[in-house]
Amino acid sequence: MGDQFFTVAGLLSPDHGPIFYGYLLHYGGDGIRYWKLSSLSSSSPGEWSSYRGTGTSFIQWFNYPFSQLAGLGFLSGNLLYAAISLIGFVGAFELIKGQFQENRGSWTGKYGLLILFLPNVHFWTAGVGKEALLFLGLVLVLLGVKGFPSRAWFIVPGLLLSLFVRPIQGLVLTIAVLAVLPFHSALKAYRKKLVSGAAALIFSIFAYRWIQGSLVYGFNFEWIGRIIDWQNAYLSSFEAGSSIPMWDYSPLEKFMAVWFRPYLWEVKGFWTFAAALENTFFFMAVIFGIWGMIKSKLQVRIPLFYLVVLIYAAIMSLIFMLALNNLGILMRMKSIFVIFMVSFFLSQANRSFTFDKSNL
């Protein structure tokens, strides 16, 4: 199965570069502006150093030597990012293969690794954009947690990459790692001190974000609501076909929109069909996984790297529920961690259940 995966993935991921390329040429998107370095104005556009920063600035800084110095075209840029995401898929295979191979007799053991070919993550990580780098950053962090302490150094570049590409996701990923890593068995002797230190660092991250925003909008909590309102109004101004009135939804409707919309009955074309099909598969995986947990009387085996994903996804979902009102953007933003969520629930769907104490 391993050799087949590397062979097929090596073909699939780069092939999505031209598909994503054609999609952007037809519909437009940030990727074109990232490659042409036109997303942000710069006082010294001719200098590489003028693009240093985080978020979009970092992406343009990263693209500069390829698009400007080497003169590569946009198609080449998409293939470059597809190659970067392929590294992430190789790491993702390493992360989740054990969850299925140890139970080869079940249907999940036989077919579970096929989730690595879910189209959404392949599509959004196969072109110029933040998702390929965020996916690689997340995989590096998870490999570091799973292989701790021998691979602990993977965590540092993974967090730094995430922080530079999209700071809010990098901070949330840092919180998830701090919340989980002190409970690793290799750190048991230092657990009390590490838990206290991690709690202090998590509090510092929240305080940093509040102070950072307060310096601009005033030292109160009202500015958070104003930013959320502005974000929703900004996205609504594009009048995209996939916009939804998230502010009118109940918490349950918001949750369902983030994770499972568009539904199959909302299909309007090929792209929404592909999204709805994947969302339906994810929904069924969650149902089977929860049913498996109930049958085991909630004695659930959760490796620590999955705990990182679950915390990361939970916090990001809350942010998405508050700040996003576009199904297309939601599909893109959640693409980097959905395969790990699916693999977790499927791994619970059909296995013998014991509480995992190996990492405690």
Q: Categorize the per-residue pLDDT at 16 as very low, low, confident or very high, splitting at 50, 70 and 90.
A: low
Q: Categorize the per-residue pLDDT at 199 as very low, low, confident or very high, splitting at 50, 70 and 90.
A: very high
pLDDT value for 9: 37
* pLDDT higher at 29 or 69: 69
The answer to whether residue 257 scores a pLDDT higher than 70 is yes
pLDDT value for 330: 92
Within a 10 A sphere around the Cβ of 3, how many other Cβ atoms? Answer: 7
Percent of the chain with pLDDT over 70: 80
Element (H, E) at 163: helix 155-165
The two tokens of residue 319 are: 């942010």
State the Cα angle at 115 between 111 and 121, rounded to 5°. Answer: 165
Q: Is the bond leading into 251 cis (omega within 30 degrees of zero)?
A: no
Cα 290 to Cα 283: distance, rounded to the nearest angstrom: 11
In eight-state DSSP terms, residue 54 is S
Cα 13 to Cα 95: distance, rounded to the nearest angstrom: 18
Please answer whether residues 125 and 149 qualify as being in contact, where contact means their C-beta atoms are separated by less than 8 angstroms: no
Mean pLDDT of 314-341: 92
Q: Categorize the per-residue pLDDT at 355 as very low, low, confident or very high, splitting at 50, 70 and 90.
A: very low
Mean pLDDT of 218-234: 62
Taking phi over 0 as left and psi of -120 to 50 as alpha, with beta for the rest, 44 belongs to: beta
Q: State the residue for tokens 């556009």.
A: 45
Integer angstrom CA distances of residue 11 from 14, 79, 83, 147: 6, 12, 10, 28
* pLDDT higher at 216 or 342: 342
Q: Collect all residues with Cβ–Cβ distance below 8 Å to 152 and sequence separation of at least 6.
A: 144
pLDDT value for 137: 97
Cα 201 to Cα 176: distance, rounded to the nearest angstrom: 11
Cα 297 to Cα 308: distance, rounded to the nearest angstrom: 23
The answer to whether residue 353 scores a pLDDT higher than 50 is no
Q: Categorize the per-residue pLDDT at 10 as very low, low, confident or very high, splitting at 50, 70 and 90.
A: very low
The answer to whether residue 13 scores a pLDDT higher than 80 is no
Cα 199 to Cα 195: distance, rounded to the nearest angstrom: 6
pLDDT tens string 140-162: 999 999 999 999 999 999 999 99
Least confident of 10-24, 66-80, 89-103, 244-258: 10-24
Cα 148 to Cα 187: distance, rounded to the nearest angstrom: 10
Please give the backbone phi and psi of residue 19, each rounded to the nearest 5 degrees, phi first.
-65, -50
Cα 59 to Cα 128: distance, rounded to the nearest angstrom: 9
Least confident of 31-45, 120-134, 273-287: 31-45
pLDDT value for 95: 93
The two tokens of residue 188 are: 């048991």
Q: State the residue for tokens 């490659």.
A: 35
